Structures are given as structure tokens and as C-alpha cells.
């Protein structure tokens, strides 16, 4: 009987390196692949991945997806910010690049599975006949939020070897098997934004962009001027440069009038929101209201809410307690304990 073949997305970091090592130990035929996603080729990451592949004695290749990444992720990112929304490009990248184009390439190579170093779990549920997406063991590193948009066809061939491990355990395993990346620092930034400066990135791509506009109070009084709504986000406090005697926060961004509405902190709280482009994971569809916990940003604490089916794939969310800075463009992900029920994009 032939070994099951798995393609591992290897960034050169400790997580994907250990994922590859674990799968080889488990008896899989492992092939490593490193993605080039921007014109700024991260040669260091490629070199690290190649060194790990050599250490593990597995084949490794480099896949250039710069055109696909530019079209699907970077263009999307800029368009969202310019329309007054705050995007989450990592979720879209997972859906369209890592578990889209790369999954297609994996199948073309005859791979049975695609593996990554994500801290999450995929479990088949006999009762429903569906693949469930669950939180990883390490609560601080859990990445299920970033994976909610994956469909059943994408979850079926996916393997997450690190789902049952903590980050500390992963680093210890890397050190144990002699991988030099065991103490390699990890980036917390969006990979294609130099210095994590979104404003400069967008201005660099649109040098003639001049979208200055009014900063107004909730009563409509002009308080100041912003340098473009793409440079602001709901809930933002710093950088408004307005003296009012008390802290001001961005409450909303109006693309139609190019205005940023600001107010007191308590005015940023909302009890309701609407999401669109929903994707269901543990259920086939939402037909009746359901009580879940909702996370409206990756670092946001989940909060109990009722989700209600609306028309055209939209869902209403009613929180039991108001939430701060509900931000259009971000994802709202629904949980039942440690299981992802589904999610969508905040309108």
C-alpha cells in the first residue's frame, strides 16, 4: 500500500516546519512548498524552508503566486480601505490562496492532503456528515477565526498537525529534532505591508489620492479634517488631532459624504449588526434563530448573541451585551463552545 501524500505549506517558520516533521514521523509522504506572494521575495523564508526540507529529507519547491495574490488579496485590501471598511486580508488569503490555488496545485501533484501550521483542528462529524472546524489547543494561538470562510470541499483534504499542541510544545519539538528555526521570531504583521503602515502603503499605490474630508460630531458639527477615510478605522482614538476635553473615538465612516463621525467611547458600542457572504461550517444553513458566541475581531473576546437568518445569505446578530467598535469589513465568527458554526463579513 502506497503512503498517503501530503503537501505542506512551508513559510520557513517554526510552525510549518514542525508540521512537516510531524507528518513525516507519522508515515506520510511529505512534500514541502513555499509560496512567493509579493514582488518583494522573502528569500530568507525560502532559505529557511529549504534548510528544513533538507534536514527532513523531503522534496521542496517554490510556487510563484504573486499575480494571484495581487489580484485576490492586495487589490481587495485597498478597495476595502478606500470604501471606508477595515478588511482582514488573512482570511481571504486562506480561502483563495492557501486553500485555493495551493490546494489545486496539491491535487495536481497527486497529494491526498494539504497541511499547514495553523493552530486549529478539523474533525469529521458522523452525525452530520460534515467536517467541523474547531479551536486549537493553545487558546492564545488559536487561528480558527481566520479559517471560518473555508468550505467543506476545502476542509475535507486539510490537515492541521499543530491543532493539539501549544506554541511552547511546538518550539520544544523543533529544538528536540534539531530544527534551527525553533527560536525564529514570528511576524505579527500583514505580510505585504512594510512596517505594518497601512496608510503609507495605500498612498504609495495611489500617489494622487487626496481624499481629505470632515471629522464631525454625532450632532453634525465639524470638528476637524481627516487625511482620507482609508487612514481611519471604527473605534480608533489616536491620531485624530482634535482637542475636546475628553477622548474622541471614530464611530463610523461615511464614504458617501467622505466624513468621519466621532464621539465618546460609549457611543462606539452596538447591540446589533448584520453580516453578509455567510459561510456555514458545522451546519448546512441557518434556518431558525440560534444562540452562539460571536467574535467580531481576532483579538476580541467572544460574546453571547442570537443570530437570525435574513434574506440573500445575510444574518442579523443581536448581542446580549453591547460590543465596542463593531467594524464594517471585519469578520464576525460564530462559535458553539470550541466549534466554528460559521461566520460572515460585517456590513
Nearest CA to 145 among 293, 291, 261?
Answer: 293
* 293 neighbors 305 (Cβ within 8 angstroms): yes
Nearest CA to 230 among 329, 82, 89, 88?
Answer: 82
Is residue 191 annotated as a catalytic residue, yes or no? Answer: yes
Query: What strands lie across the sheet with 5-9, from one edge to the other?
Result: 60-64, 29-36, 5-9, 113-115, 158-159
Is residue 78 annotated as a catalytic residue, yes or no? Answer: no
Give the three cell numbers for residue 5.
Answer: 501524500
In sequence order, the 6+-apart residues with CB closer than 8 A to the CB of 71 are none
As a whole number of angstroms, the distance between CA 30 and CA 294 comes to 37
DSSP 3-state of 210? coil
What DSSP string describes 95-119?
IIIIIIIHHHHHHHTT-SEEE---S
**Pick the catalytic residue: 20, 93, 147, 159?**
93
* 26 neighbors 134 (Cβ within 8 angstroms): no
**Pick the catalytic residue: 36, 191, 223, 324?**
191
* 296 neighbors 302 (Cβ within 8 angstroms): no
As a whole number of angstroms, the distance between CA 222 and CA 224 comes to 6
Rg (CA), the chain: 22
- Across 151-302, the runs of DSSP E, i.e. the strands, are 158-159, 213-217, 222-226, 249-254, 259-263, 269-280, 290-295
Residues with catalytic annotation? 93, 191
Amino acid at each position: 500500500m502506497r503512503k498517503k501524500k501530503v503537501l505542506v505549506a512551508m513559510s520557513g517558520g517554526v510552525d510549518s516546519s514542525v508540521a512537516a516533521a510531524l507528518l513525516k514521523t507519522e508515515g506520510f509522504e511529505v512534500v514541502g512548498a513555499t509560496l512567493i506572494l509579493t514582488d518583494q521575495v522573502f528569500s530568507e523564508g525560502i532559505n529557511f524552508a529549504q534548510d528544513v526540507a533538507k534536514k527532513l529529507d523531503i522534496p521542496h519547491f517554490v510556487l510563484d503566486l504573486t499575480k494571484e495574490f495581487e489580484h485576490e488579496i492586495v487589490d481587495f485590501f485597498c478597495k476595502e480601505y478606500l470604501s471606508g471598511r477595515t478588511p482582514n486580508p488573512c482570511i481571504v488569503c486562506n480561502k483563495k490562496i492557501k486553500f485555493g490555488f495551493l490546494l489545486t496545485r496539491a491535487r495536481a501533484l497527486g497529494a491526498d492532503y494539504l497541511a499547514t501550521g495553523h493552530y486549529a483542528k478539523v474533525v469529521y462529524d458522523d452525525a452530520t456528515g460534515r467536517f467541523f472546524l474547531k479551536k486549537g489547543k493553545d487558546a492564545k494561538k488559536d487561528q480558527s477565526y481566520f479559517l471560518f470562510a473555508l468550505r467543506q470541499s476545502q476542509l475535507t483534504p486539510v490537515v492541521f498537525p499543530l491543532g493539539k499542541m501549544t506554541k511552547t510544545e511546538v518550539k520544544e519539538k523543533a529544538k528536540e529534532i534539531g530544527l534551527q528555526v525553533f527560536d525564529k521570531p514570528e511576524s505579527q504583521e500583514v505580510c505585504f505591508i512594510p512596517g505594518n503602515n497601512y496608510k503609507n502603503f495605500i498612498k504609495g499605490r495611489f500617489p494622487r489620492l487626496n481624499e481629505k474630508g470632515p471629522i464631525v460630531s454625532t450632532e453634525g458639527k465639524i470638528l476637524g479634517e481627516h487625511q482620507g477615510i482609508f487612514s481611519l478605522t471604527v473605534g480608533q482614538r489616536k491620531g485624530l488631532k482634535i482637542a475636546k476635553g475628553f477622548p474622541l473615538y471614530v464611530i463610523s465612516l461615511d464614504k458617501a459624504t467622505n466624513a468621519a463621525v466621532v464621539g465618546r467611547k460609549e457611543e462606539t458600542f452596538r447591540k446589533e449588526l448584520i453580516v453578509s457572504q455567510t459561510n456555514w461550517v458545522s451546519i448546512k444553513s441557518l434556518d431558525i434563530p440560534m444562540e452562539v458566541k460571536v467574535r467580531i475581531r481576532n483579538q476580541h473576546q467572544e460574546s453571547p448573541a442570537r443570530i437570525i437568518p435574513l434574506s440573500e445569505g445575510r444574518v442579523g446578530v443581536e448581542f446580549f451585551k453591547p460590543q465596542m467598535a463593531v467594524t464594517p469589513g471585519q469578520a464576525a465568527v460564530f462559535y458553539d463552545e470550541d466549534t466554528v458554526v460559521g461566520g460572515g463579513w460585517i456590513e
